[in-house]
Structure 1
Amino acid sequence: MSHRDRNGVAEVIAEETRGAGPREVPQRLCDAVLKLLPVSGASMSLRGDGMPVPLSASGERAAYVMEMEVSLGDGPCFEAAATGSVVCAADLMSNRDANRWPVFAQQATALGVRSVYALPLGAREACVGTLDLYRDVPGELAAEEALTARVVADMLTEALVKLSQAGPYDVDDLGSWLSPLATAHDDVYRAVGMVMAQLGVAADEALSLLRGHAFAKSRTVLELAHEVVALRTGLDDDLPY
């Protein structure tokens, strides 16, 4: 990609984020992605302890696909974060991709998502999250599009790092730059803690129990966590949450 093209990417990102408050920036970055790449949806997540933390999404479908990965603990996003490498699922209905992530592939295609391109945010040894691109049609990004996607991921990483280091914020921002989508996932960690205390299990087992229960009930982990924290449900009828 030429220096001029890189400047063009930077200009689109700058225009989209101009005037945005700290918590609005992640969403604006996803909006910029749709203007820069031939994709139908985009989402960003931060690498977390045992699971990614959803940060922003271009729309409801992209947000739901991202939540599916969190709930399943499997998918292109997980692989990209774990390896620090780009992961391409060119056709989720093909045997190759469907066999890699069978449940994710089935649920994503049911929503009309046919291909996913997941890029790490940051270097291989210091991956801070992923940028996930969704398309309604099968096929890989063209060479020039893939190069643009890498440049976009690099610039988004820089924007997030600067955002996390900026401050101090206004009192209305509560000292935080994290989006509402990210802070909502605090309930998942609270629910994990409650299950750990109730059952006397380690954090990874508690998270696995939450995922299994959510899958059995056709819910996302976040939806189940909200109920557990609100004392409306437990993982077992005998658990007095």
Structure 2
Amino acid sequence: MTGPRPEAVALAARHAGQAHPARHIGEACRTALRSTYSVGLTLAADAALAQRVSLCAAGPLAARGETLQINLGEGPCVQALKQRAPVLAEDLDDPAATRQWPVYAQQARAHRIRAAFALPVLNGTAPAQQAGLILTLYRDHPGPIREADLHTAQDHADAAELLLLTAPVPREDDPTHAWLLPTDAVVHQAIGVISYRHRLTTGQALALLRAHAHTHNTDLTTLAHAIVHEHLTLPEPPDTGPTDS
């Protein structure tokens, strides 16, 4: 698996010092595109989007487009995570393009969304349930996405992931700083750290995080903060052999 392009690294560096960097990345992506789109950024802990953090909704169509997918459990984001590849639905009136999410397509059209392009950023080779960041472009008219816009959006998606992995979370008692990320996002950061350290799938990493929190009578977010920002290392999990998840 190749790393992010230099353009993505430069974008991340440019936005790293700003409050709410994910929101800035989403807005920057929208501005950089040659055509007019709304931009959504979602961090999902599973392919069904049952556990997710909405990081950004830039533009008039994004908030509704993102919310519909969460409420319905279907849509281009869900499909992109399941198949671990971009979903480029250039016409939501086309049954062939929307056969995996017909209800979403119908309701999206009712909110003037006519095309949607979901670009997942996924790590490793874990199954389709692996956590991932998804950048989705929403447009109010059908038609293919320009290749240049596709590359621009992917660079911004990669930059958002770099920011998510490296952005510090200010202390809760510090009134001078706004939160850089939604609180739940640090849990997903911790899952990524555990997955990397212990060579686990994200599902196994989440189970280990929950088990440790339960054993030590602490909440998940507090433990995640300690793992991500205080370099706490959890004990090695017992070897249960290979799994299918």
1:171 partnered with 2:173: yes
1:11 Cα deviation from its structure 2 partner: 5.9
Q: Does 1:47 align with 2:44?
A: yes
**Contact map agreement 1:89 1:116 (CA 8 A) in 2:** yes
Provide the rounded CA distance (Å) in 2 between the counterparts of 1:106 and 1:35: 28
- 1:41 alignment partner AA: S
State which drifts further: 44-53 or 76-85. 44-53
Partner in structure 2 of residue 70 of structure 1 = 70
- Pick from 125, 134, 137 the counterpart of residue 138 of structure 2: 134
Instruction: Give 1:177 shift.
Output: 3.9
Contact 1:55 1:179 in 2 (8 A): yes
Is 1:152 equivalent to 2:156 in the alignment? yes
Give distance in 2, aligned partners of 1:33 and 1:54.
Answer: 16
1:35–1:175 distance in 2 versus 1, CA, 3 Å:
closer
User: Where do residues 30-109 of structure 1 align in structure 2 (5 Å cutoff)?
Assistant: 30-37=26-33, 38-49=35-46, 50=48, 51=50, 52-59=52-59, 61-109=61-109
Specify the code of the residue in structure 2 equivalent to 1:20: Q
Shift of 1:76: 0.4
TM-score normalised according to structure 2 size: 0.60
Alpha-carbon deviations, 1:31-65, whole Å to 9, x = none? 11101223420111111255233221104531121
Taking a change above 3 Å as real, the CA distance of residues 156 and 39 of structure 1, as seen in their structure-2 partners, is farther
- After superposition, the C-alpha distances for 1:108-150 in whole angstroms (9 at most, x for unaligned) are 1111111111011233636522111111121221223222222
Aligned residues: 173
How far, CA to CA, are the matches of 2:6 and 2:112 in structure 1?
A: 31
CA distance in 2, matches of 1:181, 1:108: 27
- Report if the CA contact (8 A) 2:43-2:133 is conserved: yes
Normalized per residue, the structure richer in helix is 1
The gaps in structure 2 that reach 5 residues or longer are 187-245
What are structure 1's unaligned runs of at least 5 residues? Answer: 184-241
* Cα shift at 1:104: 0.6
CA distance in 2, matches of 1:12, 1:92: 31
Aligned with 1:96: secondary structure?
A: coil
Question: Percent identical across equivalent pairs?
Answer: 29
Q: Which amino acid aligns with 1:44?
A: L
Q: Distance in 1 between matches of 2:145 and 2:88?
A: 9
* Shift in alpha-carbon separation, 1:67–1:109, aligned structure 2, 3 A: same
Deviations 1:171-211 (A, max 9, x none): 3379964338979xxxxxxxxxxxxxxxxxxxxxxxxxxxx
